[in-house]
């Protein structure tokens, strides 16, 4: 048993280890490299946690809980001690005493370390950083991640006479060659063959994007065309995976003449591109091209994630210029007000932002695989170690899954664009401050973006927290509708009605905060897409005969079939 002095020493050592090793937590099991976006952590003060003390009563409570649970574990065995954790759910863990004890002891140690975090007397952000570092360390050191302790992997090795280990080594070598952990059987997918297959053609391109026009499937279309601005940190075909879950095809089948921006995957030739370029040469150029092709005075548009931030910025620039080419806008899991950004806020401070500006503010690329790794480590058990165990320890090939194939198809970002975005959104929240940010020579004032908007947020989104998505309704002055869907950042959005899955919430009243909104909201079974389609219809204008050809005249002709070559470029 441990004395009070032992626990005080342990608490001091815990503080010292985290203080000395905070930046190293982001490097664990990542080839010695910090995760993308976290490299600047070594610029933090040399001892950022030096001032931390522990509340005596909380420390005593952690001590008593540990001693009690450790005694029970030792005296009564480990039956059921790891219950509820899917990593140790296999029967093999329960029938192997050594493995079962290691799992139970690991979970007890994890709870104790998190208890020490809660006992620390410090500010909320530092405590959140401590919690994140401990969670990363715990995810990486789980006994399930090691063949010597993973009873399930050992059992499979015996049953297959070592074949699972051989396959695991082959999988490891293949993943080393491709540069990332396989989340799905990537050999089963090809862009343009069985993902991104909705029929269309590229009708315009510049060095930043291709504009795809999709072939109508209805005899008549709405007179106002629909433009989709996807995020530039991913490829657009998350919105056009396969016919049964394609938002693009859904739009086309609803009678909307649909255009989609396919961002180029930047290489060295685009390493000096800025946020202004993505707004002026990207969103604004796409809006103008869509209007010219269709002859429409006004169009409707959708922005998804960072694409929504780009679209919102573009609309503010247009408003400052006295132009109003949009009749309505849709924002899906988008941040315009960055006052609530979730876990990503833990790593943003002045030192970090200055480091990134120094590193790539004048030129360079943020590599796509680094960015993808960062987002994966926000959910390490589900998106990293689960596949390490399956692919390498058990020798399994993950099943084909279109969404995870897309997730592995990463994109680069130009350094200057990324550095501006980091400072003016996550760090200083300048888009939400009227006149603070200057884009394309215009002062950004979202209060002047006066048009009907549909705002969607996902309830369990860890990238755009639901409160951050809701904050948009307090920024924009026009008539607004807010809808919340179940699930996360991607699965909540890609929820076609034919699947009859999940649910969504509506409330015609828009109080100041999302919890107040939710308190008065009504839950509906199924997909939010039907609610959105009903909202969009009256903003789409009258119906006219569907066009018989792509583009218009000689200025906008079919350059190549959809999905185009830009989306096929690998990072």
- Residue 323 in tokens: 């132009």
Best CA proximity match to 211, nearest among 103, 136, 289: 289
Per-state percent for the chain, helix, strand, coil, to nearest 5: 50, 15, 40
Residue-by-residue pLDDT tens, the chain, 571 positions: 445 555 445 444 544 444 444 344 333 323 334 433 333 333 333 344 446 788 888 888 988 888 888 888 877 655 545 667 889 988 898 888 888 888 988 999 999 999 999 998 888 888 888 999 999 999 999 999 999 999 999 999 999 999 999 999 999 999 998 888 999 999 999 999 999 999 999 999 999 999 999 999 999 999 999 999 999 999 999 999 999 999 999 999 999 999 999 999 999 999 999 999 999 999 999 999 999 999 999 999 999 999 999 999 999 999 999 999 999 999 999 999 999 998 888 878 899 899 999 999 999 999 988 888 888 888 888 889 999 999 999 999 999 999 999 998 999 999 999 999 999 999 999 999 999 999 999 999 999 999 999 999 999 999 999 999 999 999 999 999 999 999 999 999 999 999 899 999 999 999 999 999 999 999 999 999 999 999 999 999 999 999 999 999 888 999 999 999 999 998 7
Strand positions, DSSP E, 172-294: 200-205, 209-214, 220-222, 226-229, 258-263
**pLDDT score of 73:** 81
Q: What positions carry a catalytic annotation?
A: 305
Cα 483 from Cα 492, distance rounded (Å): 11
As a dihedral over the C-alpha atoms of residue 12, residue 16, residue 22, residue 24, rounded to 10 degrees, the angle is: -130
Dmax (CA) of the chain: 84
Secondary structure class of 206 (helix, strand, coil): coil
Within 8 A by CB and 6+ apart from 358, the residues are none
pTM of the model: 0.88
**pLDDT score of 194:** 95
Tell me the CA distances in angstroms from 74 to 80, 89, 123, one per residue in order.
13, 21, 36
**pLDDT score of 323:** 97
SS (H, E, C) 15-84: HHHHHHHHHHHCCCCCCCCCCCCCHHHHHCCCCCCCCCEECHHHHHHHHHHHHHHHHHHHHHCCCCCCCC
Cα 265 from Cα 208, distance rounded (Å): 8
Residues paired with 202 in a beta bridge: 212, 560
Secondary structure class of 528 (helix, strand, coil): coil
Domains present along the chain, CATH in parentheses: 4-159 (no CATH), 200-367+412-568 (3.40.50.1820)
Cα 78 from Cα 68, distance rounded (Å): 14
Secondary structure class of 203 (helix, strand, coil): strand
Residue 270: how many CA atoms within 13 Å on its side-chain side? 23
**pLDDT score of 46:** 38
| Residues comprising the chain, all counted | 571
| Contact between residue 7 and residue 63 where contact means Cβ atoms under 8 Å apart | yes
Residue 533 phi/psi, 5-degree rounding, is: -60, -40
| Contact between residue 261 and residue 229 where contact means Cβ atoms under 8 Å apart | yes
């Amino acid at each position: 048993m441990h004395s009070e002095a032992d626990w005080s020493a342990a608490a001091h050592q815990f503080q010292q280890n985290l203080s000395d090793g905070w930046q190293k937590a982001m490097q664990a099991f990542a080839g010695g490299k910090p995760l993308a976006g976290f490299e600047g952590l070594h610029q933090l003060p040399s001892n950022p946690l030096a001032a931390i003390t522990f509340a005596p009563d909380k420390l005593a409570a952690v001590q008593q809980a540990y001693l009690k649970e450790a005694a029970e574990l030792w005296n009564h065995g480990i039956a059921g001690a790891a219950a509820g954790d899917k990593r140790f759910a296999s029967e093999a863990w329960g029938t192997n005493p050594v493995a079962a004890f290691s799992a139970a002891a690991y979970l007890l140690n994890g709870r104790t370390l998190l208890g020490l975090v809660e006992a620390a007397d410090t500010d909320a952000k530092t405590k959140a950083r401590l919690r994140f570092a401990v969670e990363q360390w715990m995810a990486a050191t789980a006994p399930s991640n090691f063949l010597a302790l993973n009873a399930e992997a050992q059992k499979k090795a015996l049953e297959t006479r070592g074949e699972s280990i051989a396959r695991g080594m082959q999988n490891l070598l293949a993943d080393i060659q491709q540069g990332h952990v396989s989340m799905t059987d990537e050999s089963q997918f090809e862009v343009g063959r069985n993902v991104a297959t909705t029929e269309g053609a590229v009708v315009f391109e510049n060095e930043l994007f291709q504009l795809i026009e999709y072939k109508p499937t209805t005899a008549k279309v709405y007179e106002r065309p629909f433009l989709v601005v996807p995020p530039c940190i991913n490829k657009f075909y998350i919105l056009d995976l396969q016919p049964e879950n394609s938002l693009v095809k859904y739009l086309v089948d609803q009678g909307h003449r649909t255009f989609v921006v396919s961002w180029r995957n930047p290489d060295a030739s685009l390493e000096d591109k800025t946020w202004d370029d993505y707004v002026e040469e990207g969103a604004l150029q796409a809006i103008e091209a869509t209007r010219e092709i269709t002859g429409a005075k006004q169009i409707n548009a959708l922005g998804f994630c960072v694409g929504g931030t780009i679209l919102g910025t573009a609309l503010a620039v247009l408003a400052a210029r006295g132009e109003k080419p949009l009749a309505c806008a849709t924002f899906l899991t988008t941040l315009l007000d960055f006052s609530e950004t979730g876990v990503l806020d833990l790593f943003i401070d002045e030192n970090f932002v200055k480091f990134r500006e120094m590193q790539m503010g004048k030129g360079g690329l943020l590599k796509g695989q680094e960015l993808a790794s960062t987002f994966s480590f926000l959910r390490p058990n589900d998106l990293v170690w689960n596949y390490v165990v399956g692919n390498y320890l058990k020798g399994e090939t993950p099943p084909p899954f279109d969404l995870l194939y897309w997730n592995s198809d990463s994109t680069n970002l130009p350094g200057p664009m990324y550095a501006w975005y980091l400072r003016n959104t996550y760090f200083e929240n300048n888009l939400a401050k009227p006149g603070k940010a200057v884009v394309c020579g215009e002062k950004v004032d979202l209060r002047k973006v006066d048009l009907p908007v549909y705002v969607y947020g996902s309830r369990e989104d860890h990238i755009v927290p639901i409160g951050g998505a809701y904050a948009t309704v307090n920024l924009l002055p026009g008539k607004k509708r807010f809808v919340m869907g179940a699930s996360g950042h991607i699965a909540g959005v890609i929820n076609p009605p034919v699947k009859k899955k999940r649910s969504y919430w509506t409330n015609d009243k828009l109080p100041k905060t999302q919890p107040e909104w939710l308190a008065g909201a009504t839950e509906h079974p199924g997909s939010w897409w039907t609610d959105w389609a009903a909202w969009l219809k009256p903003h789409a204008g009258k119906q006219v005969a569907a066009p018989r050809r792509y583009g218009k005249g000689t200025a906008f002709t079919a350059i190549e079939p959809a999905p185009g070559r830009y989306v096929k470029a690998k990072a």
